[in-house]
């Protein structure tokens, strides 16, 4: 058997291990290097709070020891010599990064030359970095066929040659949790397929065209998720709501001094208003869903939360008042 050490965290680690077992691969995962347990708490708390949305896509990698007898090392920095020496004890054929928090430096890459792979489950070079679910929604990629990649890691960020692509379709309407699940599904086969290619003598990976590259920053919903009625078009507001919705807290506005998170909303163009009215609550439907003037039409608000709890709109909103 050929040994693999994984660097990273998340349910993708579990899916990759299961895919190798199911395919009767010559490769096996023997160890995991992940960031300290304390630093997993934010993600684990989010998965617990939104567990009905994550379902089987929530996983604590510290369960790998009991689930698959895999050795685990908590490391503050994968590049540390202590971590490198620990990895060497497993004589790995490949190291595979799955949402690894650290940027791998030249010393690490030189110690494991041509052995370090990364699973990047959004398109390269167009979506480099780790902040892509919300950005793909904001950039209106919905409805398109896209792919994730297995690629070699070099000293850049997601710049290495591509070994294999796994394709999936984005629906016309999606929230970050939906895209997360779709792209996570490729872990069931991408490493198996990529390793099969690497085992062929004449295989040549695809060099990325860096002239097409884009990198977007991580978004922090409580800060970045503020709806700007005076800046965004109605369609942009709709996409903005999708982009900051489940599993996150939602895009937010203020009604008087109350912070309101909007989790669901739809843009309509059958009524149009002067831009002076943008943000004005002008009506509601028979279901008690309120209508707000936006550029090019109006927004029908479908679901709101206050302090993380679903709230009836009529208890908060008032006709003829503005959202800020």
What is the per-residue pLDDT across 193-245, written as a single tens digit (0 to 9) for each? 999 999 999 999 999 999 999 999 999 999 999 999 999 999 999 999 999 99
Residue pair 122/33 in contact (Cβ under 8 Å)? The answer is no
Q: What pLDDT, in 10s, does the model give residues 123-180?
A: 999 999 988 999 999 999 999 999 999 999 999 999 999 999 999 999 999 999 999 9
Contact 226, 271 (CB under 8 A): no
Q: Map out the domains of the chain with their CATH numbers.
A: 2-212 (3.40.50.170), 221-315 (3.10.25.10)
Give 179's contacts (C-beta < 8 A, 6+ positions apart): 133, 136, 137, 170
CB 72 within 8 Å of CB 62: yes
Question: What count of other Cβ atoms lies within 10 Å of the Cβ of residue 218?
Answer: 11
Question: What is residue 251's DSSP assignment?
Answer: E
| Ramachandran area for residue 140 (φ above 0: left; ψ -120 to 50: alpha; else beta) | left
């Amino acid at each position: 058997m050929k040994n693999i050490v994984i660097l990273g965290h998340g349910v993708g680690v579990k899916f990759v291990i299961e895919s190798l077992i199911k395919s009767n691969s010559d490769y096996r995962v023997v160890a995991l290097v992940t960031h300290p347990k304390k630093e997993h708490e934010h993600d684990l708390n989010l998965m617990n709070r939104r567990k009905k949305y994550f379902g089987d896509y929530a996983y604590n990698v510290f369960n790998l020891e009991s689930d698959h007898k895999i050795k685990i090392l908590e490391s503050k920095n994968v590049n540390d010599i202590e971590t490198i020496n620990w990895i060497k004890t497993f004589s790995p054929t490949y190291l595979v990064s799955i949402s690894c928090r650290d940027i791998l430096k030249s010393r690490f890459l030189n110690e494991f030359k041509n052995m370090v792979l990364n699973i990047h489950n959004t398109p390269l070079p167009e979506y480099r970095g780790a902040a892509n679910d919300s950005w793909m929604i904001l950039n209106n990629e919905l409805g398109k066929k896209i792919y994730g990649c297995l690629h070699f890691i070099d000293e850049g960020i997601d710049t290495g040659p591509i070994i294999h692509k796994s394709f999936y379709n984005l629906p016309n309407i999606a929230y970050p949790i939906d895209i997360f699940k779709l792209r996570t599904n490729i872990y069931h086969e991408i490493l198996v397929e990529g390793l099969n290619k690497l085992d062929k003598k004449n295989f040549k990976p695809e060099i990325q065209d860096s002239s097409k590259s884009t990198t977007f920053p991580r978004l922090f919903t409580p800060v970045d998720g503020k709806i700007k009625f005076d800046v965004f078009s109605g369609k942009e507001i709709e996409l903005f709501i999708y982009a900051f919705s489940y599993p996150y807290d939602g895009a937010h506005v203020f009604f008087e001094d109350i912070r309101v998170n909007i989790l669901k909303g739809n843009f309509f163009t059958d009524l149009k208003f002067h831009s002076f009215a943008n943000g004005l609550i002008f009506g509601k439907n028979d279901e008690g869903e309120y209508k707000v003037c936006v550029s090019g039409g109006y927004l029908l608000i479908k679901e709101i939360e206050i302090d993380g709890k679903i709230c009836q709109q009529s208890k908060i909103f008032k006709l003829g008042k503005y959202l800020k």
